[in-house]
Amino acid sequence: MKSQSESYRQAGVDITAGYKAVELMKEHVQRTLIPGVVSGIGDFGGLFELDLTGLERPVLVSGTDGVGTKLKLAFLMDKHDTVGIDCVAMCVNDVVCCGAKPQIFLDYVAVGKNLPQRVAQIVSGVAEGCVQAGCALIGGETAEMPGFYPEDEYDLAGFCVGVVDKAKILDKTRVVPGDAILALPSSGLHSNGYSLVRKVFDVERRDLSAYQEELGCSLGEALLTPTRIYVKPVLALVEKGLVKSVAHITGGGFYENIPRSLPQGMCARIEEKAVRTPPLFDLLQRTGDIPRRDMFNTFNMGVGMTLVVAGDQADQALRLLNAMGERAYLLGEIQAGEEPVSLV
């Protein structure tokens, strides 16, 4: 017999709803199981046995993040099965920047009211993200917090752990003038800048379901498009020894993230006309009258990741990426200079 508390339920926390949510999410968690998973859902801790075959000096790499105010769009559209992909993506895309392969993921869902079907939808997105990243969802937490969150709202965050051989950790000090910068296209805004986006589009008073010819879908659909997960294409290049450094273009855009993948004295020279910017960004800039510099300093502008490779290996890297279904392209080159990013 499962525990229950009428007093706790009257205070706003329904323990039995939590049990129902766990039952509903089990099928989604099952999809993420990979070799190494030891424990089942419901244990106090998630157990995972690392396969260290071929790793001389294994190093664990961790990353944590949330979805942010993009969740407001999920609330407004009552669509909750994609934000979990965003949550996973924001973590695994960071971890892979070190050359690490994500192994495990745990999520944290805080709700005003535990609605089991909605929680299961959220976790279905988390599971899909884990499948795309090739890692296991080995645990998590659903916290019902009445009075802290409104009943129809929630927050979602998570973290992942990956592993890499110490000798294969990507080393940005190898970047030199003449290296090429490759772009991996984004699926849209990903999960950054939504406080500005919501203000510009006045989303709470706008019909988000109306079809937008310019976008080829409704504004709501465009804004809720989940973040792309780049683990598999990046690791494919890492295995071939083709990558020197990687930048995940998140909050802060080009100007904040690309410099994190460069050593002191190196400059990423990017021709603005080379950037393949989807219509959503143009619509956002026009509607909000946002300066171009602010756009590149806030959003990914259609570039989810940048990869630095040796100039004479750029074509080989592009062929490999495009053979995997990527639409990768040459974005710029590395030059000597004190200004980390030069957009010309």
pLDDT tens-digit profile of 96-122?
Answer: 999 999 999 999 999 999 999 999 999
Q: Tokens representing 275? A: 């950037």
| C-alpha distances in Å from residue 20, one per residue of 24, 26, 83, 192, 225 | 6, 10, 21, 32, 28
Write the pLDDT tens digit of every residue in 205-254: 999 999 999 999 999 999 999 999 999 999 999 999 999 999 999 999 99
Q: What's the one-letter identity of residue 241?
A: G
Query: pLDDT value at position 24?
Result: 82
**Contact present, 69 and 198 (Cβ < 8 Å):** yes
pTM of the predicted structure, to 2 decimals:
0.94
Nearest to 83 by CA among 95, 71, 69, 100: 71
The answer to whether residue 44 scores a pLDDT higher than 90 is no
